[in-house]
Amino acid sequence: MTFLLSMLLVLLLSATGLEAQGALPAQRDSTTELFLGVSPTEVTVGDRFQAVVRVDGPDGTRIEYPDITGGDTIQSVAPLRITTTAAGDTVAVYTLVAWIAGQPLQATLPVRLHSAAGVSELDVALRLPTVRSVLPAGDTIVEPRPPKPLIVPPLLGKAQSLWLYLLLAALAAGALGYWLLDRHRRAESAEPGDPRAWAMAQLDLLEASPAKTHEERVGRYQRISRILRLYVARIDPGFGLDLTTPELTQSLHQRSTPEVAASLSRLLDAADKVKFAGARPGQLDADLLLDDARAFVALFPERDATPELLTRAAA
């Protein structure tokens, strides 16, 4: 499109004496004739336009058009293009942009004429367009745009209310899930008033939960291991949750009797085999593990245990 516009200007300028919008003779004397053109005649700041110059000198004169590099008001955005009319005259096409609005643009080119008499220079003032600003006038009242409607997936068609209900339901389900997980996490991490009462209550909840399938029994083993580790850590922070089963058993040897340490080691080892080694416990195994976990909680610390509990823990 830009090329077609420039060629149209060249054709207009090639007609001698032709005056049209955007292309007209600007200066004349006895030896030199100057034609100027611009397209379009009105632009917005930053829009491209083309200024065309044709200088006709005496026969045998070579016309040299300079480049435009840029400035504060206009800037060249494409190389200077030189074309030749059917009459053999050269035409310069400048592709420019304007950076100011509200005041006339000015640009002068020193065009050189090379003839047998020597080199002369002609200052040519380009014909430039009127430039509009992209901003409204200072006293213009700009009305705010109306709010955009809620984006509805095209596949739902007219079911806008259904889409909104689904979105709200998904948000509510996410919030509920987060609340339940956070509640469970805080229930485990909260410091109980009585660690033993807390551990017994947790084991009672496990007994009320079914353990008929393999997945349910695996969950019971994992939960018992967690409860016992939290319990001993609350009795003594030295039994940290980051300790492995052998490390925890060794620490317990220093605090308790070998029988009590062996009891916890046996419980945690059974849980580790299910969690990490893929062991498949039966229903009876899961029930016995729960009973043994209760015996250990009642036994440790030993100062609160009865002789019957000590005997069972050491068995």
- Average pLDDT score, the chain: 77
* pLDDT score, position 21: 38
Element (H, E) at 11: helix 2-14
CB contact at 8 A, 109 and 126? yes
Judged by DSSP in three states, 220 sits in: helix
As given in the structure block, the two tokens for residue 255 are: 């605090």
Long-range contacts of 256-264 (CB under 8 A, 24+ apart): 256/300, 256/301, 256/302, 257/302, 259/310, 259/313, 259/314, 260/296, 260/299, 260/300, 260/302, 260/313, 260/314, 262/314, 263/292, 263/295, 263/296, 263/299, 263/313, 263/314, 264/228, 264/232, 264/296, 264/300
**Claim to verify: residue 31 and residue 104 sit in the same structural domain:** yes
In a domain, residue 163? The reply is: no
Please report, for the domain that includes residue 58, its CATH number: 2.60.40.1230
Q: Are strands 90-98 and 74-76 parallel, antiparallel or unpaired?
A: antiparallel
In a domain, residue 151? The reply is: no
In a domain, residue 173? The reply is: no
CB contact at 8 A, 101 and 136? no
Least confident of 95-104, 152-161, 187-196: 152-161
**Closest by CA position to 55, among listed 33, 27, 77:** 33
Q: Are strands 81-84 and 62-64 parallel, antiparallel or unpaired?
A: unpaired
Q: Give every CB contact of residue 281 below 8 A, 6+ residues apart in sequence.
A: 217, 221, 270, 274, 289
Query: Which of 115, 132, 149 represents a domain boundary (last residue)?
Result: 132
Tell me: the pLDDT tens digits for 266-311? 888 888 888 888 888 888 888 888 899 998 888 887 555 444 444 4
Indicate whether 86 pLDDT > 70: yes
* pLDDT score, position 10: 46
Tell me: the pLDDT tens digits for 6-38? 544 444 444 433 333 344 444 445 578 888 999
Query: How far, in Å, are 7, 105, 124, 253 from residue 75 at the CA level?
Result: 21, 12, 17, 86
Query: Is pLDDT larger for residue 211 or for residue 26?
Result: 211
Measured distance CA(292)–CA(289) in Å, rounded: 5
In a domain, residue 159? The reply is: no
**Claim to verify: residue 125 and residue 205 sit in the same structural domain:** no
Measured distance CA(273)–CA(111) in Å, rounded: 94
Q: Which pTM was predicted?
A: 0.39
In a domain, residue 179? The reply is: no
Number of domains in the chain: 2
Measured distance CA(299)–CA(293) in Å, rounded: 10
In a domain, residue 25? The reply is: yes
Element (H, E) at 274: helix 258-276
**Claim to verify: residue 212 and residue 305 sit in the same structural domain:** yes
Expressed as residue numbers, the domain containing 281 is 190-314
**Claim to verify: residue 8 and residue 126 sit in the same structural domain:** yes
Partners of 109 in the beta sheet?
Answer: 124
Q: Count Cβ atoms below 10 Å from residue 203 Cβ, excluding itself.
A: 19
